[in-house]
Amino acid sequence: MQSLDPARVAIDQSYEEFIDELPDELRSAARELPLLLGLTTRAGVCWTDAVAEPVILGLPTLLLGALAARIKPELRASAQRAHLFAMITAMIHERVDNGSVEVDGQLDALLLAIERQRHRALAELRLLGADRNASFMAAERETRSATAAERAVFERRSEAKLPNYVAICCGKHSLAFPATMAAVVAAGADLDELGHVHEVILGVMLGVAARGELLERSERARANRSWVVALTVDRERAEVVGEMVDLAAGAFTRAAVSARALGADELARWAQQQADQLRTQLRDRRHAA
């Protein structure tokens, strides 16, 4: 996506500035954090190249750029920084919670530094006109609650149903909302615009997550972290896969519709392309069966 280029620059610059502020003993670990988290197998890879879908890191730039006439560049930059460090925080906690990464003194210190950077960027948003009550606290509580609910499903202490998956997935991605929503409110967006921004974020995050369940189902099954497996206890796998494809495609389509309403045309095209590809893959699978 060509419009991701400004976000790539903002993300790389923000993270390099963050590394420069760290004590010497944390800089190397910070630079190789994507490798430590298992997002890449190569050293020295930047965040937008390490994550499976870099759009999720650049959502503030992609969305707020469509409202550029009303949003000051410094407001968009602060939202992008707050969002970036919120998403990195979420990725660290996710991997610690599922046991793929162990916390040592260095990672703990790095996590605290990342969280401070996140809070500092949100404070900048408040100074630029965002609600003074804007915070990540509610989102963090929702994320922890959703993570615990998901663990109960995988341990078969709770029933696996598709509506449960949607609710848990949305809760786990709560940290994707505060920064961009705070910036849009600060810019004086009306209720329709706020609704569309929320729908874009939700659609992108849910679509990417559901597609990930499909693409990584073998690896997740081996780690006992697969919703496809959990949902097929009493059902045919093909039926479950079809529902998950429909869920992901529908989420991307809703994101595309709202992005288009906001004037974020390139983001809308990207989201619709994801939906179309998923539906094509499902149709080809059914024809081959």
Q: What is the set of domains in the chain, with CATH numbers?
A: 4-288 (1.10.600.10)
* Residue count of the chain: 289
Residue given tokens 């095209």 in the structure block: 269
- List CB contacts of 131: < 8 A, sequence separation 6 or more: 182, 185, 186
**Res. 216 pLDDT band, cuts 50 70 90:** very high
- List CB contacts of 217: < 8 A, sequence separation 6 or more: 226, 228, 229
d(CA 266, CA 74): 22
Q: Which long-range contacts (CB under 8 A, 24 or more apart) does 102-106 make?
A: 106/25, 106/26, 106/29
C-alpha closest to that of 15 among 27, 6, 3, 5: 27
Q: Are 233 and 214 in contact (CB under 8 A)?
A: no
Check whether 28 has a pLDDT greater than 90: yes
d(CA 270, CA 253): 10
Which pLDDT value is given to residue 194? 93
pTM for this predicted structure: 0.93
**Res. 285 pLDDT band, cuts 50 70 90:** low
Cα-based distances in Å from 33 to 43, 52, 71, 95, 115: 9, 15, 32, 12, 14
Mean pLDDT of 162-179: 96
Q: In whole numbers, what is the pLDDT of the chain averaged over residues?
A: 92
| Ranges 179-183, 187-191, 201-205: which has the least confidence | 187-191
d(CA 195, CA 189): 10
Please state, for a pLDDT cut of 70, what percent of the chain lies above it: 96
Cα-based distances in Å from 199 to 171, 236, 238: 14, 31, 28
Which pLDDT value is given to residue 173? 96
- List CB contacts of 140: < 8 A, sequence separation 6 or more: 174, 175
Mean pLDDT of 251-263: 96
Instruction: Give the DSSP H or E segment for 287.
Output: helix 265-288
- Burial bucket for residue 87 (CB in 10 Å: 0-12, 13-18, 19+): buried
Which pLDDT value is given to residue 199? 97
Structure tokens at 78: 């602060």
Where residue 129 falls (left for φ over 0; alpha for ψ -120 to 50; beta otherwise) is left
d(CA 224, CA 202): 26
Which pLDDT value is given to residue 228? 95
| Ranges 59-73, 90-104, 106-120, 176-190: which has the least confidence | 59-73
Which pLDDT value is given to residue 2? 59
Mean pLDDT of 225-246: 93
Half-sphere CA count of 119, side-chain side, radius 13 A = 8
Structure tokens at 62: 């992609």
Amino acid present at 140 = E
Give tens-digit pLDDT for 56-98.
Answer: 999 999 998 877 667 888 999 999 999 999 999 999 999 998 8
Please state, for a pLDDT cut of 90, what percent of the chain lies above it: 78
Residue given tokens 């620059």 in the structure block: 9
